[in-house]
């Protein structure tokens, strides 16, 4: 890692990590086909966290919700699904991972429960910023709120969400 990269990563502007895109179908199972560098601070919630506008507890709660929302596949599709067809190999046993469809259903239930716990008045801004990835200004405009009102409501929603997840 170069010094310039370290400096930019440490000053809170960028939080870079390596992520595997997908598994390779070759016999060397477990190795990623390729990896990419992802800036975790690019999400609106990450941007707020990098500037100290939301706490670590609030950030963690938002990331949990966003993770469940992503696993549930609730975002819009921009292309067809390219999932590999099931192989004719052995069937899953008791120690195997959860079926992708069941994982989606479970994640959707967790997402719905979390948003319901937060409440109707607060879940709107929470969904727009954390799940849909809208910026604060865009969310405020879409909800018809005055400028700078969104951050206050978002922090209240994130506090309720953190309570729901029982984060300390």
Q: Answer whether 0.95 is exceeded by the pTM.
A: no
| Greater model confidence, 157 or 12 | 157
The pLDDT of residue 6 is 41
Look at residue 72 and tell me whether its pLDDT is greater than 50: yes
The pLDDT of residue 5 is 43
What values do phi and psi take at 20, rounded to 5? -80, 135
**CA-to-CA dists, residue 125 to 90, 113, 115, angstroms:** 45, 16, 11
């Amino acid at each position: 890692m170069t010094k310039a990269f370290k400096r930019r990563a440490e000053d809170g502007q960028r939080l870079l990590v390596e992520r595997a895109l997908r598994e390779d179908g070759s016999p060397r199972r477990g190795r990623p086909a390729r990896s990419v560098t992802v800036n975790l601070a690019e999400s609106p919630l990450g941007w707020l966290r990098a500037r100290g506008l939301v706490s670590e507890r609030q950030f963690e709660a938002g990331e949990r919700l966003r993770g469940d929302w992503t696993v549930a596949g609730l975002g819009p599709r921009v292309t067809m699904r390219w999932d590999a067809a099931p192989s004719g190999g052995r069937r899953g046993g008791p120690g195997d991972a959860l079926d992708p469809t069941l994982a989606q259903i479970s994640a959707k239930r967790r997402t719905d429960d979390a948003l319901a716990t937060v409440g109707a008045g607060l879940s709107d801004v929470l969904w727009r910023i954390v799940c849909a990835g809208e910026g604060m200004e865009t969310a405020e405009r879409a909800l018809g709120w005055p400028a700078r009102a969104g951050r206050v409501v978002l922090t209240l929603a994130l506090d309720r969400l953190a309570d729901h997840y029982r984060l300390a």
